[in-house]
Amino acid sequence: HGRVVVVGGGLAATRLCAVLRRKKFRGSITVLSAEEVAPYDRPPLSKQVLAGERDDAPLPFDTAKLDVDLRLGTRATGLDTESRTVMVNAGSDEADAIAYDALAIATGAAPLRLPGDGPQLTLRTLDDSLALRERLVPGARVVVVGASWIGAEVATAARAAGCVVSCVEFGAEPLAGVLGDEVGAATRAWWEGIDLRTSTGVTSVEADGVHLDDGTVLPADVVVTGIGVRPDLAWLSGSGLELDRGVLTDTRCRTNVPGVVALGDVAQRWSAHSDSHRLVEHWDEAAMVATAAATSLLDWSTGPEHDPVPYFWSDQFGRKLQYVGVHAPDDVLAIDKAEDGSLLRATWSRDGVLTAWLGVDLSKELIPARTAIGGPVAALG
C-alpha cells in the first residue's frame, strides 16, 4: 500500500486524491499545502469573486471521506529523492521531514512581478482576489499591466466597478500573445472606455505610478500585474528531477525519477500536439490529468496517457471565449465577425486540417469543434 505524499493543495492535487481512492488505493495519502485555507477553485477569483457575486469557491474535497491527511500551512522547501523525503517549512519552528513511497508534485505556478518598489497586486489566491476587490471602487485609478486572460478579466471587473481603468500591453493587440495580432485586434472594441496602451512596455512600478518605456508615468491607486506565471521550482533544485520551465514529464505524468509524478500548472508535459514539452496552464488540464497521474503512481510501468486536445476559456467584457486546439503562428487563419464588427469565431488550419477553434459566446460549437480538430476544416459545421 505505502504512503503517497501530494505537494500542493489546488485542483490537480484534490482530483488526484479522489482518483487514487476511486482506484482503491488503500495506503495513506498526505497532502502538503502552503495555503492556510482549504483547496479552492481559481477561475472564479477573476470572475464571480472579483465581481462580488461570491466570496469563495471551495473545491469539493472531503478529507474524512477520502481519508486524506491535509496539512495546511505546510510548504515543501526541499526534496531528497534518494531517501524519499520532502522537507517542509525549512527555517521555521515548523520545520519537518516527511517520508514517502510515491510523490506527486502539484504546486501550480506563481505570478510574475514587475521591477520597482511601488505597490503592485497580482491575482492568484483567494486573498489576492478579495484584496483587489476591496480596492475596485468608483473613481479609483486602476492600471492593469498585461492585456491577456487575467488582465482582460480584471479590466472587466474594474470597469464594471466604475474605476478609471488603463491597461498597458507589450504586444500590439490584446490577447495577441496567445491568439496573434489579427484575432487580438478583433477584440479591441470590447475595451471601450478603457485607456488601452498597446505596444508599450512597463519599465517599473514606483510609488508615483507605473513607468512606461515611452517615458510616461501613469499615476495609479491600484496596479494589477497580469503578465504570466511561472512554476516555483527552487525547492526542487538538487533533487535529481529534470527541470526546464516546469517539471518535465511524459504523457503519463512520470518524471525521470521513478515514483515521482508532476501534474497541473507545474508540469511541463510531453505533448504530441505540439511535439514538445508544454506548460499547459489551464483548468481543464489540471482537472483531467489526475487519472494518468494516479495510474502511474499505482503502476509505474503501464497506464493511460494524458495528451488531450488543449481547451481553455475566459469570461471577459460580458462574453465567454472558448479555445480548443493548438495552432502554430503560420497556420491559415479565418476570422468571422459578429454584427458589431468584433470577434465571433476564429479557426486555424494547416494543409486543410483544422488545428484550432476559438468561439465567442458559441458554446454550442465547442464539442463539434473539438471533434473536428485533426480532420478536414469542412467538417466544422
Instruction: Quote the cell numbers at residue 77.
Output: 522547501
Which of residues 14 and 198 has its CB atom nearest to ligand FAD in the complex? 14
In the complex, least distance from residue 301 CB atom to ligand FAD, rounded to whole angstroms: 25
Candidates 217-225, 308-316, 336-344, 345-353: pick the segment binding ligand FAD (CB under 6 A): 308-316
Instruction: Quote the cell numbers at residue 270.
Output: 510531453
CA distances in angstroms from 100 to 81, 84, 242, 301, 374, listed in the order given: 9, 6, 19, 19, 41
Among 18, 27, 28, 35, binds ligand FAD (CB under 6 A): 35
Q: How far is it, in rounded angstroms, from Cα 279 to Cα 267?
A: 6
Which of residues 211 and 282 has its CB atom nearest to ligand FAD in the complex? 282
- Containing 260, the helix (H) or strand (E) segment is strand 260-262
Among 5, 8, 104, 197, binds ligand FAD (CB under 6 A): 8
Say whether residue 314 binds ligand FAD (CB under 6 A).
yes
In the complex, least distance from residue 192 CB atom to ligand FAD, rounded to whole angstroms: 22
Strand 68-71's sheet: what is its strand order?
68-71, 28-32, 3-7, 102-105, 260-262
Contact 167, 155 (CB under 8 A): yes
Say whether residue 235 binds ligand FAD (CB under 6 A).
yes
Say whether residue 34 binds ligand FAD (CB under 6 A).
yes
Among 30, 61, 108, 259, binds ligand FAD (CB under 6 A): 108
Identify residue 133 by its one-letter amino acid code: R
Burial class (CB in 10 A: 0-12, 13-18, 19+), 91: exposed
Q: How far is it, in rounded angstroms, from Cα 146 to Cα 124?
A: 15
Which of residues 181 and 284 has its CB atom nearest to ligand FAD in the complex? 284
Which of residues 321 and 377 has its CB atom nearest to ligand FAD in the complex? 321
Among 29, 100, 103, 107, binds ligand FAD (CB under 6 A): 107
Which of residues 150 and 377 has its CB atom nearest to ligand FAD in the complex? 150
Contact 258, 249 (CB under 8 A): no
* Residue ranges that bind ligand FAD, judged by CB under 6 A: 7-13, 32-35, 42-43, 45-46, 75-76, 106-109, 123-124, 150, 232, 235, 264-265, 281-284, 286, 312-314
